[in-house]
Structure 1
Amino acid sequence: MTVPAQRSGSDAPARMLVLWCPDWPAVAAAAVGGVAADLPVGVFHSNRVVACNAVARRSGVRRGMRRRDAQSNCPELAVFPADDGRDARLFEAVARAVEGLVVGVEVVRPGLVAVPVDGAAGYFGGEHALVERLLDEVAAAAGVECQVGVSEGLFAATLAARCGEFVAPGRAADFLAPLPVTELDQPGADRAELVDLLRRLGLKTLGAFAALPERDVANRFGAAGLLAHRLARGRSERPPLRRRPAPELTLAEEFDPVVERVDVAAFLAKGLATRFCAGLARHGLACTRLGIYAVTEEGEHLGRAWRCAEPLTPAGVADRVRWQFEGWLRAAPGERPTSGVVRLRLEPEEVVEGRSLQLDLWRNGGSDEDDERAARAFVRVQGLLGPEGVLTPVLDGGRDPAGRVRLVPWGDPRERTTPLDAPWPGRLPSPSPATVLARPVPAQVFDDGGRAVGITARDQLTAPPRRLTIAGGAGREVVGWAGPWPLTGDRRRPGPRRARLQLVLAGEGDEPPEAVLVHCAGTENPVWTVEGVYD
């Protein structure tokens, strides 16, 4: 199918140059870990590959692969955890090298930087001459290889950078048309469900999607689909009539004492981001291009602009502030500031109508005014007590009831570190105890003859339990029990047999029966503890 060339006009996006460092998380991890460039490197999150270098791919490692499968394909794979701060810190050298030649540098994400091309191309004698200078400058200053693409709009220029293309002016739609529709699901865009739906409808290429009438796209796919449709057509991400940010939307903060550590900056960024987005929300606006500017104690001025494909949420603003401080405060000697930051300014350099996007951005996933007030209160408590002052639970996978619940500070990413759907041999079956004790309480379990009950080599009880004493207190009659559930893995290592057991205790007086979860270790001299209580 032939897609007509894009006509110039107010809807035509500005011509952009995108510089892309392939596999940047793997490159940054290898640099920090001292791994040679010719060795395979993989970056993992939640036990899955999120990035790898070309050497690892040649050995069969792919994104999304489980760690054990990746290491099975490539036993010499160097394994590193995902670290956004590390990626941003090292990418600051690349952004600084680009900024030395071209003004208006915008960091899209660590590994990807965009600049307006028109003015700089005229100064250096054309786009090709500008690209050659940029490649040489980045290689000399940062020591990394990169690819460059030029086209109208950030989306088309990013895809052009992946294949090193210079798309002719007005031909962005032609360049995009044969590309697969999966290209819409760029990092941070969260369009996986939309892409899957388009594929099931038979729309396999961007050109096929772009050929649909805009009205039909809006009716069928909503605001998210309409934005993706504009990208597929080679148009600007949003309608060009953007409002000029009012001066009062800029948020400035002074620090006393000065900020000299990244963890302090990350904590302060959470509160600033909430206030910044709340100020925009009161005007019905959302920020798509964030300027982060700082002044040090010695009067040094620092600044960087971050562009985002989607309007920034408070968490997105906080992440970019943290990443930028990583780049500033942990830069190489001679490039980092000589003193701490005393003033920070967050400036919404580009905004869009927040309500027209039909996105719930302002309450971290909630929809009530009470949620917003509660979030502000939590941030206030953290300001008084520290980040650990407000903790929220996250359910993880695992065998241990206590280990399955992880507490994370309010505002930190609530991501699972282990999958819930893994087999987890030896995991306690449902229901889980309503109360899991932070410190298990010592106990003793006896049979009818008053002898201690233990676990045999075949993971069975030595005798039916009849009485339980907790912390040396009075014994309570056991009227029912279930289990035992052995903790697997004991056969591969020395030590006593271990298992869990559910006991139903007779009520005291008029009280109803009570169920508890107990743990046993050993056969001849068993050690019992109470780990949880059931409602």
Structure 2
Amino acid sequence: MTRPGRARVLAVWCRDWPAVAAAAAAELPATRPVAVLFGNRVIACSAFARAEGVRRGLRRREAQANCPELVLVRDDPDRDARLFEPVVSAVDATVPGVEVLRPGLLVLAARGAARYFGSEEAAAERLVDAVAATGVEAQIGVADELSTAVLAAKRAAIVAPGADAEFLAPLPIAELAAEPSLAAPERAELVDLLHRLGLRRVGDFAALSPAEVASRFGGDAVAAHRCARAVPQRPPSARRPPPELTVEYHCDPPVDRVDAAAFAGRLLANRLHAALAAASVACTRLSIIAETEVGEQLSRIWRCAQPLTPEGTADRVRWQLDGWLTRRDRPSAPITLLRLEPVELTRAGALQLGLWGGVGEQDERAKRALIRVQGLLGGAAVRVGVLSGGRGPAERVTTVALGDELTPAADPALPWPGRLPPPAPTLLLVDRPPVSLESIDGRQVTVTERGVFSAEPAALRWGDRWWRLRGWAGPWPVDERWWTAREKPAARAQVQLADAEDGKVLLLIHLDRTWHAEGVYD
């Protein structure tokens, strides 16, 4: 039986959402394999890409080797959230009370939907049809607890009341870290440790007593243990958030552009967290509300596994406003009022750094250290990189002082003909050390007036070291600065070193009869 006072949860999960959103944004056919990259590794891919051997965690070159026709796109949370808004609206129109966990995953109370449509199975079918009407496939899961419902959605399962623990027990222990919206970043390390200790299934971990887990592991392990036992990970809020924690921003002039709305959202996020800090509480569920000139009101609730930070709040406000202002049925008038209302609060101690770390600990520690260095050496001494426009890899990075507005020197969205194709080198060599390309008979390889190699490269010499080449690509003429006088045309080429670890690849540039190492690919 379901626990008294606990409503069952229904989760709607759109598989491979980053890849689905990227394909939709690029207007690619559904049969085209797509992979999303972050840090030169695959973080999401479509079903057709998986059928060709593409998996999460693969490097870019490995993924392309497995599937040459693979379309690679960058990770873009703004795009994912913007394109997910029509799905959320379709679900909310069918069953009100939607809460978004992340783009691609949302939850709602199952009780009202089951009563209205006759059963949980009928409600699941109606929601799948509603999502399909937007051109997206979805899977539904229903369970007593939210985390169990999410894992059930990934298996398109409806768990019987009171059977959450039985459903979770045979699942691999890695499932406790599989969903980022429900797990702390350090959950993967915990899962690896549990696996090495011989706890291979969720049920094995659940069999431990809460005292054993709390005395041997960190705070996140306690939350993971509650998830494995199918008990609430945090108790419901005991009181309604006081109205003084609600923050508003009156838009004057009214806002109808995403950039202006996002700026207002960041101001609101800072005000909200200042109020929360003064009240010694933190927010775990947030309602974002917008009102227009003609009286329309838009609202959406975001739920988070951990207490929201100011940056996390600003991101969710920006995503939501982007979704509202760019969808087909966008508001008929500009936005005149933005409001943030905390829906569920927790004690402020949830944001404090504990014995085993805390939310954003590493980022905050690094930021404090950088600010300290900046105070000692001057404002311009610490600089951060911003993606910029340009043809060469070095030109595509603009460095600005820490704390200044992240404005690039040139617009990266412009065409930039002759630009080096992605991926960019992992390491840029600012001093461009000279190297020598040699043919198999020891002759120096240069670039001719026609923009081709004077001989086939076979070896590379860098100082006193010498490498054989496993492969090469290029040369590509550098179509820029045509007004400068050069003895020979500039060109770039890529070479793979056969004798180096992991087959390291170098980016070379040919300037005035001399090759220079410009970058290194990981």
Task: Tell me if both proteins adopt one fold, taking TM over 0.5 as the criterion.
Answer: yes
Structure 2 distance, partners of 1:52, 1:239, is 36
- Pick closer, same or farther for the CA change 1:170–1:299 going to 2, 3 Å: same
Match of 1:303 in 2: 299
Match of 1:152 in 2: 144
Match of 1:515 in 2: none
Structure 2 distance, partners of 1:265, 1:278, is 20
Compute the displacement of 1:268 (Å).
2.9
Structure 2 distance, partners of 1:408, 1:203, is 48
Partner-residue secondary structure (3-state), 1:309: coil
Match of 2:173 in 1: 181
- Unpaired runs of 5+ residues, structure 1, are 1-5, 376-388, 431-453, 459-481, 500-518, 527-535
Compute the displacement of 1:325 (Å).
0.9
The one-letter amino acid paired with 1:8 is: R
Q: Deviations over 1:69-111 (max 9, x none)?
A: 1111111112222221221122111111111121211111111
Match of 1:353 in 2: 347
Match of 1:435 in 2: none
Match of 1:393 in 2: 384
> Would you say how many aligned residue pairs link Structure 1 and Structure 2?
429
**Structure 1 stretches of 4+ moved >4 Å:** 356-365, 399-413, 417-420, 424-430, 454-458, 482-486, 488-491, 493-499
Q: Deviations over 1:451-495 (max 9, x none)?
A: xxx99888xxxxxxxxxxxxxxxxxxxxxxx97999x99984564
Instruction: Please tell me whether the aligned partners of residues 15 and 152 of structure 1 are also in contact (alpha carbons under 8 angstroms).
Output: yes
Match of 1:208 in 2: 204
Structure 1 distance, partners of 2:437, 2:145, is 68
Which residues in structure 2 correspond to 1:238-317 (within 5 Å)? 238-240=234-236, 242-317=238-313
Which of 103, 111, 114 does residue 110 from structure 1 map onto? Answer: 103
Instruction: Please tell me whether the aligned partners of residues 282 and 350 of structure 2 are also in contact (alpha carbons under 8 angstroms).
Output: no
Instruction: Please tell me whether the aligned partners of residues 182 and 195 of structure 1 are also in contact (alpha carbons under 8 angstroms).
Output: yes
Instruction: Please tell me whether the aligned partners of residues 394 and 428 of structure 2 are also in contact (alpha carbons under 8 angstroms).
Output: no
Structure 2 distance, partners of 1:249, 1:213, is 38
Which residues in structure 2 correspond to 1:3-402 (within 5 Å)? 8-9=3-4, 13-140=6-133, 142-185=134-177, 186-188=179-181, 189=183, 190=185, 191-240=187-236, 242-332=238-328, 335-356=329-350, 358-359=352-353, 365-366=363-364, 392-394=383-385
Which residues in structure 2 correspond to 1:474-489 (within 5 Å)? none
Compute the displacement of 1:327 (Å).
1.0
- Pick closer, same or farther for the CA change 1:302–1:498 going to 2, 3 Å: closer
- Unpaired runs of 5+ residues, structure 2, are 373-379, 407-421, 439-461, 478-487, 493-508, 516-522
Instruction: Please tell me whether the aligned partners of residues 290 and 337 of structure 2 are also in contact (alpha carbons under 8 angstroms).
Output: yes
Q: Deviations over 1:481-521 (max 9, x none)?
A: x97999x999845647999xxxxxxxxxxxxxxxxxxx995
Instruction: Please tell me whether the aligned partners of residues 290 and 350 of structure 1 are also in contact (alpha carbons under 8 angstroms).
Output: yes
Q: Deviations over 1:33-56 (max 9, x none)?
A: 111112211122222212111111
Instruction: Please tell me whether the aligned partners of residues 210 and 233 of structure 1 are also in contact (alpha carbons under 8 angstroms).
Output: yes
Structure 2 distance, partners of 1:80, 1:137, is 28
Q: Deviations over 1:388-435 (max 9, x none)?
A: x9x951599xx988877744985999xxx9899x5x5967699xxxxx
Q: Deviations over 1:264-309 (max 9, x none)?
A: 2223322322221222122221211110000012221111111111
Match of 1:451 in 2: none
After superposition, the CA RMSD in angstroms is: 4.1
Partner-residue secondary structure (3-state), 1:292: strand
Instruction: Please tell me whether the aligned partners of residues 282 and 351 of structure 2 are also in contact (alpha carbons under 8 angstroms).
Output: no
Compute the displacement of 1:240 (Å).
3.6
- Pick closer, same or farther for the CA change 1:252–1:290 going to 2, 3 Å: same
Match of 2:512 in 1: 522
Q: Deviations over 1:201-234 (max 9, x none)?
A: 2221111111111122122222111111111110
- Pick closer, same or farther for the CA change 1:107–1:425 going to 2, 3 Å: closer
- Pick closer, same or farther for the CA change 1:484–1:256 going to 2, 3 Å: farther
Match of 2:504 in 1: none
Match of 2:451 in 1: none
Structure 2 distance, partners of 1:236, 1:277, is 26
Structure 1 distance, partners of 2:295, 2:386, is 46
Partner-residue secondary structure (3-state), 2:217: helix
Q: Deviations over 1:190-211 (max 9, x none)?
A: 1111111211222211111111
Structure 2 distance, partners of 1:89, 1:455, is 47
Compute the displacement of 1:9 (Å).
4.8
Structure 1 distance, partners of 2:435, 2:282, is 61
Structure 2 distance, partners of 1:276, 1:194, is 32
Greater relative contact order structure (CA < 8 Å, 6+ sep): 1
Partner-residue secondary structure (3-state), 1:312: coil
TM-score (norm: length of structure 2): 0.72
Instruction: Please tell me whether the aligned partners of residues 242 and 350 of structure 1 are also in contact (alpha carbons under 8 angstroms).
Output: no
Compute the displacement of 1:353 (Å).
1.4
Structure 2 distance, partners of 1:490, 1:43, is 24
Structure 2 distance, partners of 1:7, 1:111, is 27
Q: Which of 63-72 and 155-164 deviates more?
A: 63-72
Structure 2 distance, partners of 1:411, 1:49, is 31
The one-letter amino acid paired with 1:78 is: V
Compute the displacement of 1:115 (Å).
0.6
Instruction: Please tell me whether the aligned partners of residues 46 and 419 of structure 1 are also in contact (alpha carbons under 8 angstroms).
Output: no
TM-score (norm: length of structure 1): 0.70
